[in-house]
Structure 1
Amino acid sequence: MRTSFLLLFTLLSSYWLHAQVDHNITTYKAKGDGKTLNTKAIQAAIDNCALKGGGTVWVPAGIFVTGCIYLKDNVNLHLSNGAVLKATPELSEYDRKTMALVYVRNAVNVSITGMGIINGNGKNFKFVEEGPDRPFVVLVESSKQVIIRDVKLYDGARWTLKLFDSDHVQVSGVTIYSHSNHNNDGIDIDSRNVTISDCIIDSDDDAICLKSENPNRITENITVTNCIVSSNCNFIKMGTGSFSGFRNISITNCVLKAAAETPFWKWHNIVKGVKDTISGLAGIALEIVDGGMMDQIVISNITMTGVQTPVFIRLGNRKNAVGSLKNVLISNITATANSLIPSIIAAVPGFYIENVTFRDMILRHTGGGTEEDVKRAVPENEAKYPENRMLGHTLPAYGLYVRHARNITLDNIQFIIAAADARPAIWLEDVKGVYIKDFSPGNNARPSAMIRQTNVTDFFYQNLREH
């Protein structure tokens, strides 16, 4: 009995000591002088920590220049207040197959915490669209039980935080600011069982973007909540990559606003009708264009400014394959848009977006559309890259354009337009099953043309208000 007790005590003591080991990177001769290359020293601290069963690798105050570092099982990389990990532009310090500054691969029980900064030093890498020689700031790949909390991720050379083929990932309290290079996405999620909460994101490209690049693995069981999001492209997006698709996604309680700067995109010089010098594309963009599926999506309690188009939903045919997009509920939305491009629900001929409900929405638009806008033929553009402007810089409706859809419900929708507009509030074309209740087109609308219908069946309405 005594022997068994001593053995148990020894095992627990060993576990406790190993679990509590702290490794300060300066012990391994890392220098926070902003000049010394510390890749080997930081990696040695991580390796030794993992070898001893895990623990915390501490980054103290200072600027520690480094190349790619690999996190391992049971290691917490903790950045103290005032600590900066800064990417070296020396390409030899990175894995050229999968470029990343902090790389979590095939790992379990890994965390990145603290009030410090991971700086991607993006301005010192090539300014090339989709260029391969630019590292992600943080890449999590094929890993489980990952926590990223409170850190600041700045100045990516590429996407800022990428979650790929991973399971059970929590991202909370993270601040992202990334306007240093092309493709500066904020958070890209191509994983399962992921929670994103309480983050502040200001990025040049898509801010929160769900992707599905593996045709054999769906992106599913994702929640995003309590975030403040800014972008010069799409604010909250699913796609473009959509080979398998998206299922069971909830996004709620987020504020969308214009980015702090726009070094690459001058939309007021590119898109007709945009006057604001800084604006993003779609506040919410849902895209299936590679043959995948989208099912059971709930988006609610969103307020947005600085957007060109509040909602963009697209079922397309980019890869000679048309998937499915259905069962989407978007509710409790207030938005102020700054272009002539309305919200869009559009599939391609012969296919239908199904079961979409807009409920309790107040959408402000600029107005100013003309009779020519009403008369213009809208192209299908089946294989074109999906963006809000893909069907033109203006459309035949100022509030909502719907084409190739089934079972669309609009419940308590109010449009407010700043100037008179010759276009109807809603354009319905090749739509089977429409229910509209408690709809207001706005004070500057023409009562005789609130809703324009072409090839519409099973249309029901209740309480359509002229103003």
Structure 2
Amino acid sequence: MKPFYLLCFLLINAFTFAQTKPYSIADYGAVADARTINTKAIQKAIDDCTAHNGGTVVVPAGTFITGTLHLKSNVNLHLESGAVLKGSANLKDYDSFTQPVYGLTYYGMFYTVDAQNVSITGQGVIDGNNAAFHDFDHAKKIDAKSTSFSRQKGNYRQVASGIGDGPVVPHQDRPHQMLIFSGCTHVQVSNVSLLNSPFWTLHFADCDAVLVNGIRLWSGMLIPNADGIDVTSCSNVVITDCDIRAGDDALAIVGYDHHFELPGFSGKRHLSENIIVSNCNLQSSSSGIRIGFLDQNTVRNVQVSNVNITNSTRGIGIFLRDEGSLENLSFSNINIETRLHTGDWWGNGEPIHISAIRGKEKVKLGTIRNVKFDHITCKGENGLLVYGTEESRIDGLSFNDINFEFTDSKLNEVAGGNIDLRGVMGDENQIFQRDIPGLLIRYADNVYINNFTLTWAHPRMPYFTHGIEADHFNHLQVTNFNGTASPLNKKAVRIHLENGTGFRTDNTEGVSKSVSNR
């Protein structure tokens, strides 16, 4: 190569290297001594990176303390093996804003708004330091008003001593979502560990094109409100190959209502749609997977497959309490194990919970429609629940190849024999006592049950009743149902039906009905 061309070649490669050289936070003064507050140094590295057309900001091995950071477009924050970004124990190190009703609110460790091509990757750890913001010696008690209609009244979910299943008591003020991406496009979070969040852990709000894969998210099973991943009004989301163990819902998919505002976000509110969840292990002291709730826009086109939900209070929860609809939801090849818990957790041991009941005044309730469950294996300490209402009937529901083992619980005396619909209007509808069948269906249309196996494992409570109970339904078909009523309840039957039309079955043995077959 001639000298002139050699010089050009070297200059071009030097320029390219300069453009792609990682921005190490250590070069900006960040100190890995687990004491120094490094927020300004880390933010300077991020700002320099995005100012030079983007690249990679590297967190090297060591423990770096920080307050709130803001990622920017075209920036990949990469945590090397052995790197720890740990949240400060001082609330003043976090950015804050004032919300109506809630007042002064503190952001968590990351708040990223209106960014494109932004990511967090690597084998390192982001640690929210939840021990600094909770009292681990005391359990948060469920309020007496919520339990006044329960079977146990004031003794509901009580423990003889200690904190039981928690949750522990949060301090009056704590940082909120540990990581927020709001109004962002093309977002990726891969392989990192997200630990010890003091509140929700990873929140995507109004984002498009989101990929979360290979992460370990352990927020703390005793921490209240410590959701795993929250997807709110987002489109085209893929969550795969993750291990999520959360104090609150491991995975929540919802949509903001049209009046909700988040500081700094200038985009348009929209529904949540086109979401895929696969190959994940989930644990939760509330719901393994929650879809919908209050302040609700439409959620649609959700596919969940090849998932294990274990050690959870509730398995899959689908909740309609507001405007908007929950539609085109598919669940396949899922193992679910649920149990009763003590303390102020939501859910009461049901592997599958679907409910549509008013939670707000002066709104027109949406609907739940087109929901499919295929190849589901359940083991739980409460029955499967489909609970529609006269003003919001559930429409288009199929259960195919379901195996449910209904197990006894050592907590039945303090928690069993109840339905938990909290988030609804009326004290009598929050937590209330009721006889419990293997599968309860109310106010639902076009329900198809095929290849359903129900077994009762050592039932001892008199309130366990029928195999399947349905009322106020239109068009219910049950085929290949292999199950019985609770063996201890002599009054219960295999299938009990009331106030319905259009019932079909391939086996009429053990069917008690007052319905029309039209």
SS in 1 for 2:96: coil
Question: Distance between the aligned counterparts of 2:430 and 2:179, measured in 1?
Answer: 35
Question: Distance between the aligned counterparts of 2:129 and 2:418, measured in 1?
Answer: 46
Q: Which residue matches 2:86? A: 86
Asked whether the 8 Å contact 1:440–1:464 carries over to 2, the reply is no
How do 1:358-369 residues align onto structure 2 when only pairs under 5 Å count?
Answer: 358-366=399-407
* Structure 2 unaligned regions, length at least 5: 1-8, 98-105, 136-168, 259-268, 340-348, 410-416, 511-518
The alpha carbon displacement at 1:241 in A equals 3.3
Q: Which residue matches 1:413? A: 452
Please tell me the residue identity of whatever aligns with 1:22. P
The alpha carbon displacement at 1:288 in A equals 1.0
Asked whether the 8 Å contact 1:223–1:249 carries over to 2, the reply is yes
CA displacement 1:103-147 (0-9 Å, x = unmatched): 221100011000000000012125666966423221111100011
- The yes-or-no answer on 1:291 pairing with 2:299 is no
Which of 479, 485, 493 does residue 437 from structure 1 map onto?
479
Question: Distance between the aligned counterparts of 1:378 and 1:86, measured in 2?
Answer: 40
Q: Which moved more, 1:26-35 or 1:319-328?
A: 319-328
SS in 2 for 1:398: coil
Q: Which residue matches 1:134? A: 175
Q: Which residue matches 1:311? A: 352
The alpha carbon displacement at 1:385 in A equals 9.0
Please tell me the residue identity of whatever aligns with 1:167. D
Share of identical aligned residues, percent?
Answer: 30
Question: Distance between the aligned counterparts of 1:391 and 1:332, measured in 2?
Answer: 31
The alpha carbon displacement at 1:366 in A equals 2.4
SS in 2 for 1:405: strand
Change (3 A) 1:346 1:18: farther
Q: Which residue matches 2:66? A: 66
SS in 2 for 1:37: coil
Which of 107, 121, 127 does residue 129 from structure 2 map onto?
121
CA displacement 1:308-327 (0-9 Å, x = unmatched): 11110011110123111100
Please tell me the residue identity of whatever aligns with 1:76. N
Q: Which residue matches 1:206? A: 249
The alpha carbon displacement at 1:10 in A equals 12
- The yes-or-no answer on 1:247 pairing with 2:300 is yes
Change (3 A) 1:112 1:294: same
Please tell me the residue identity of whatever aligns with 1:291. E
The alpha carbon displacement at 1:18 in A equals 6.4
CA displacement 1:181-225 (0-9 Å, x = unmatched): 321000101111110000001111110111212335211111100
Q: Which residue matches 1:356? A: 397
How do 1:46-445 residues align onto structure 2 when only pairs under 5 Å count?
Answer: 46-97=46-97, 99-125=107-133, 133-179=174-220, 181-190=223-232, 191-215=234-258, 216-258=269-311, 280-307=312-339, 308-320=349-361, 321-338=364-381, 341-366=382-407, 383-384=424-425, 395-419=434-458, 423-442=465-484, 445=487
Change (3 A) 1:164 1:448: closer
Q: TM-score, normalised by structure 2?
A: 0.77
* Structure 1 unaligned regions, length at least 5: 1-8, 259-279, 369-375
SS in 1 for 2:293: strand
SS in 2 for 1:69: coil
Q: Which moved more, 1:322-331 or 1:178-187?
A: 178-187
Question: Distance between the aligned counterparts of 1:23 and 1:381, measured in 2?
Answer: 48
The alpha carbon displacement at 1:250 in A equals 0.4
Please tell me the residue identity of whatever aligns with 2:320. I
Asked whether the 8 Å contact 1:416–1:443 carries over to 2, the reply is no
The alpha carbon displacement at 1:93 in A equals 2.1
- RCO comparison, higher one (Cα < 8 Å, 6+): 2
Q: Which residue matches 1:266? A: none
Q: Which moved more, 1:132-141 or 1:168-177?
A: 132-141
Please tell me the residue identity of whatever aligns with 1:108. Q
Question: Distance between the aligned counterparts of 2:107 and 2:421, measured in 1?
Answer: 37
Change (3 A) 1:34 1:385: farther
Question: Distance between the aligned counterparts of 2:204 and 2:235, measured in 1?
Answer: 9
Change (3 A) 1:14 1:210: farther
Asked whether the 8 Å contact 1:404–1:430 carries over to 2, the reply is yes
The alpha carbon displacement at 1:380 in A equals 9.4
SS in 1 for 2:178: strand
SS in 1 for 2:26: helix
Change (3 A) 1:335 1:241: same
The alpha carbon displacement at 1:377 in A equals 12
The alpha carbon displacement at 1:86 in A equals 0.3
Asked whether the 8 Å contact 1:348–1:382 carries over to 2, the reply is no
Change (3 A) 1:393 1:412: farther
SS in 2 for 1:214: coil
Change (3 A) 1:240 1:94: same
Change (3 A) 1:418 1:35: same
Asked whether the 8 Å contact 1:120–1:136 carries over to 2, the reply is no
- The yes-or-no answer on 1:39 pairing with 2:39 is yes
Q: Which residue matches 2:159? A: none
Asked whether the 8 Å contact 2:423–2:430 carries over to 1, the reply is no
CA displacement 1:269-299 (0-9 Å, x = unmatched): xxxxxxxxxxx32201001101220110001
Change (3 A) 1:397 1:440: farther
Change (3 A) 1:385 1:250: farther
Asked whether the 8 Å contact 2:203–2:231 carries over to 1, the reply is yes
